[in-house]
Amino acid sequence: MSRPDCPICGYPLKACLCASIRRMQVKTELIVLQDPSEVGHAKNSVRLMELVIPETQVYVGETPMDFSVLRQYLANSNKPVYLVYPSENSELADSSSLAEEVILLLLDGTWRKAYKLLQLNPWLADFPALHLELESASNYTIRKASRSDSLSTLEASAMMLKAIDPLKDVTPLTDALAALVEQRLASMPADVRERYRDNK
């Protein structure tokens, strides 16, 4: 028997996050290229992004053909497009003086899956890349990461929006993530929960 989900937020009723969702409007277009393995993942932060910023666009796939609609959309857009991914050629977002009305492409998946997306889609190299300077570790403690500089896609989006406009209030995003983390921790056995808290 399937568990009932909240018709609004889509999370299980006993884990409903509606009370923690505050919508926000942004001029920046957030477009997520999502690895298929992330679809339906209970701990994926993109679902929260879509609740807080309904205009968030998500394209699921791996190959250039999977992203043909997105590529056409980008070709027809007159906005600057940036890929959010750290590389030898990427620039620090905080020092890039970006306008609000830009398109940000974010790769959603583990580091390995994100790198695979990048390798399978050489067309992404057509866009300048940006990276973030991390002052602290990710708050997404409920999901293990292979690198200390890992961020959830939601955290990366919030930091990018803040880099573009330092006065932007991104707490609707960060508060939603904090609520998800606390809800997940509360549902864990005490000994497991403490291990996750110790890793924070």
pLDDT in tens, 142-188: 344 444 446 889 999 999 999 999 999 999 999 999 998 888 766 55
**Considering all CA atoms of the chain, what is the largest pairwise distance in Å, rounded to the nearest integer?**
53
Residue 194, pLDDT score:
55
Nearest residue to 100 (alpha-carbon basis) of 161, 53, 32: 161
The token pair at 197 is: 């808290």
Q: What pLDDT score was predicted for residue 146? A: 42
At 55, is the pLDDT very low, low, confident or very high (cuts 50, 70, 90)? Answer: very high
Closest CA to 106 of 33, 155, 39: 33
Q: Which of 71, 43, 59, 145 is nearest to 106 (CA)?
A: 59
Looking at the DSSP bridge assignments, the partners of residue 31 are 57, 105
* Structural domains of the chain in order of their starting residue, each with its CATH number: 21-198 (3.40.1280)
pLDDT at 190 over 80: no
Taking the C-alpha atoms of residue 169 and residue 164, their distance in angstroms, rounded to an integer, is: 12
Evaluate whether 46 touches 108 at the Cβ level (below 8 Å): yes
pLDDT value at 26 more than 60: yes
